[in-house]
Amino acid sequence: KFVEDMDDHELNKAMEMPAGLQNLGNTCYMNAVVQCLKSVPELRTSLSDYQGRVNLGTGSDAECITASLRDLYKTMDTGRTVPPIIMLQVLHTAFPAFAQRGEQGGYQQQDANECWIEIMRMLQQKTQAIDNPSVSNAVEQFFGIECESTLKCIESESEEPTKGTEKFLQYSCYIDKDVKYLHTGLVNRLQESLQKHSPSLDRNAEYMKTLAVTRLPGYITIQMVRFQFKQKEAVNAKVLKDVKFPVMLDMFDMCSKDLQEKLVPMRTKFKDYEDWLTTNAAKGRGKPEALKQEKLLQDLEADKVEDWWFPEDKGSNNSGYYCLQAVLTHKGRSSNSGHYVGWVKQKGDTWLKCDDDEVSPVHEEDVLKLSGGGDWHTAYLLLYGPRKLPKERGENSTATSTTTPAAASEGDKMEH
């Protein structure tokens, strides 16, 4: 059959285009979240293992959302564009705020990050961890960040610092006038000053809170804090500033000393592999081809790559290196208006723009242009997955590359 004779469904299948999702009236926020989360194979596996059913009216919210997301993904796998009616219905039942209607009677736009957080909270209650008895569910296993926190009173030398543990499912990147690159915003998140009552001074005093990451998840979600509530206009106004994000992310600087030491063995393996690849490329294989091959390595089957987790904590990240695999963008001036789109890596440097029912291929370069600075689609959530190291390395390997993790922080070096 010729391309011009195919209907949309046949065309999508021929081009390996996955299914789109119909917009049911300002529901692009939910569609974008569903498409981005679909890029995590381990989440898909855990959802497939879930035995619950959608029982409208009788089932719990967590049960209904988990089952409907599982069923929606199953339907999407057939390649047909789907109206996600049941998913929307259970979301509205669980979170009535998402069902608000505007003056014209249609659904109002919602904040995609709030939707992401609420769906993850529901999945936390129902998904099972995979081969890891130390965590209670798949969401914490593959997305859970753990930090140690230290709270020190700046105004009292004698007051002992308070230590604690904090857990997150997202890492926030705060944006101010000095943040031009993602790395800077991520480092800034680790320190904040706050006012609280000091027991030693018996008055309010200034404290410095310091965080260090003690557990990196296999998949790290970064929220670009782009919306600030403006009391006067009562809107979540958008920070349009351009903040560059890399394809390859290195979280090493954000980790505690103990975790940094644990990351070294895997990082050394990556470094040795890169050294071999660089030498190989210098023999005339050519850098462009090498870069292309490195990207293809990230598409290797699970059994062809080294474990990217620590043996005692399946689902963690054992190198600190990540590769970008999904971006959720917002176009407009406030979180409760405008338009949301999901951008998901397909293979190599080909990505898919998932704009409701329209799914189209785009180049990786187009995705990196979603860094902000104007009224174009702007990155709001970034989803990074583990960087993969092939088991077959050295002279036996068919892949060549000169990409190094250093490339990920090149921009950050330029700004110092």
Catalytic residues: 28, 339
Ordered alpha helix ranges (H), 95-133: 112-126
Q: How many angstroms separate the CA atoms of 159 and 196, rounded?
A: 13
Q: How many angstroms separate the CA atoms of 386 and 381, rounded?
A: 17
Find the farthest-apart pair of alpha carbons in the chain and give their distance in angstroms, rounded: 81
Contact present, 401 and 291 (Cβ < 8 Å): yes
Contact present, 29 and 111 (Cβ < 8 Å): yes
Structure tokens at 351: 């990505």
| Region of residue 25 (phi > 0: left; psi between -120 and 50: alpha; otherwise: beta) | left
Q: How many angstroms separate the CA atoms of 253 and 267, rounded?
A: 13
Other C-beta atoms within 10 Å of 158: how many? 7
Q: How many angstroms separate the CA atoms of 13 and 413, rounded?
A: 43
Q: Is 98 helix (H, G, I), strand (E, B) or coil?
A: helix
Cα of 374 vs its chain's centroid, Å: 22
